[in-house]
Amino acid sequence: NLPNHVSIREVGPRDGLQNEDTFIRTYDKVAWIEKLIDSGTSYIEITSFVSPKWIPALKDAKETAAKVKHKKDVTFAALVPNRKGAEAAIEAGMDELSVFMSASETHNKRNINKTIKETYPVLKEVIQEGKKANKTIRSYISTSFVCPYEGKVEIDKVLSVACALLEMGVDELSIGDTVGAASPRHVDQLLSVLLKKVTTDKIAMHFHNTYGMAAANCLASLQRGIHKLDSSCGGLGGCPYAPGAAGNMATEELLYLLHQMGIQTGMREEKIWEAAAFIERKLGRSLDSNILKVRNAG
Ligand code: HMG
Ligand code: MG
């Protein structure tokens, strides 16, 4: 029961850049985002309205959002942690607000400076503000498999956070393997439990590739009927509060996997290669994407 079509959530401009030492100037961020839109993506997370002290790489969120040309049928999303972020994202004309929290206490605390219990009312306010402004809301659940500080995370913890978020009105959950240490069996086990409570249209999967399992984990998700997957052009990404975590599933590799299986995405692989080569030049280091390496070699 593999899906015929997969919607890719491009998170490169947000997850991809948030942990980079090189500051990409707004002009180049915007040029990259426009190349990504040109690849046919229907969804793009362009930035984060978070504290610039916590994530300096995205301190130009407002300027970036103002300069990107919006395109019909493309959802523009931004990460927001609280009311201040929500107001800025709404003001900037985002279609969707992405809130985030973790299934494990320690990562939640390190990443957003709150306990899980303290986080709920903050997110509830964001969700209410977003709904009032007619925005859709996605919520990440980070450390859904492994926490960098606590180790393996029990499925029950993920389920409890997922149910609380859905009850507060979240439209879509993105189940995050922040550390990049999930394996297909773990993915299958988590989804078998989660899908008893939530339908596949409300779930996206978000894999980092630290252990080289991201593509295998995407396949395991497809086999459970998941048809929304997060990925990042060039395989960029990482959370500064998850030390050692590698980049996301690379969009160009995900496209190859899906297209080779006859699954449609509406996206053009060569356009993503071009976008990956562009940001690789701007960052001035070689990116961890197998397809990009092959392209660069020949
Ligand atoms: P805090 O220090 O507890 O916040 O941080 P605060 O409310 O006490 O405010 C402190 C200062 O931050 C104040 O400024 C606020 O105005 C400012 P000051 O008076 O000191 O000059 N501030 C803000 N500024 C701009 N925008 C805002 C905002 N909020 C407060 N929205 C806070 C709490 C949540 C703000 C902070 O911890 C934070 O910004 N964290 C973000 C961390 C982050 O972005 N991590 C990476 C994303 S998560 C991820 O990568 C995982 C994911 O990809 C999924 C996966 O892989 O699993 C999503
Ligand atoms: Mg991530």
- The DSSP output letter for 55 is -
- 173 — phi, psi (to 5°)? -105, 140
Q: How far apart are CA 109 and CA 261, in angstroms?
A: 40
Helix H or strand E segment including 145: none
H or E element at residue 291: helix 290-297
Q: What is the pLDDT of residue 33?
A: 98
Name 108's Cβ contacts closer than 8 Å, sequence gap at least 6.
101, 102, 114, 115, 116, 119, 142, 143
Q: In angstroms, what is the span from residue 298 Cα to ligand 2's centroid?
A: 30
Any ligand 1 atom below 6 A from CB of 19: no
Cα 112 to ligand 1 centre (Å): 6
Q: How far is the CA of 21 from the centre of ligand 1 (A)?
A: 18
98 within 8 A of 138, measured Cβ to Cβ: yes
Locate 103 and state its tokens. 């299934």
| pTM for the predicted model, two decimal places | 0.98
The residue whose CA has the least distance to atom 30 of ligand 1 is 51
Any ligand 1 atom below 6 A from CB of 50: yes
234-270 burial code (b ≥16 CB/10 A, e <16): bbbbbbebbeebbbbbbbbbbbbbbeeeebebebebe
What pLDDT, on a 0 to 100 scale, did the predictor assign at position 166? Answer: 98
Atom of ligand 1 nearest to the CA of 141: 57
- Nearest-atom number in ligand 1 for the CA of 208 is 56
Residue found under tokens 């990259």: 32
Q: Does the C-beta of 45 come closer than 6 Å to ligand 1?
A: no
Pocket test for ligand 1, best of 50, 97, 231 (most atoms within 8 A of CB): 50
Instruction: Quote the pLDDT of residue 1.
Output: 82
139: DSSP letter:
E
Annotation marks residue 233 as catalytic: no
pLDDT value at residue 148: 96
Closest ligand 1 atom, residue 112 Cα: 37
- The model's pLDDT over 191-200, given as tens digits with 9 standing for 90+, comes to 999 999 999 9
Q: What's the average pLDDT block by block, 10 residues per block, for the chain (298 residues)?
A: 96 97 97 98 98 97 97 96 98 98 98 98 98 98 98 98 98 98 98 97 98 98 98 96 94 98 98 97 96 92
Let me know how long the chain is.
298
Contacts of 53 (CB under 8 A, 6+ apart): none
- The radius of gyration computed from the CA coordinates of the chain, to the nearest angstrom, equals 17
Q: What is the pLDDT of residue 298?
A: 85
Alpha helices, H only, 79-115: 83-91, 105-112
Pairing assessment for the beta strands 75-79 and 151-152 based on DSSP bridges: unpaired
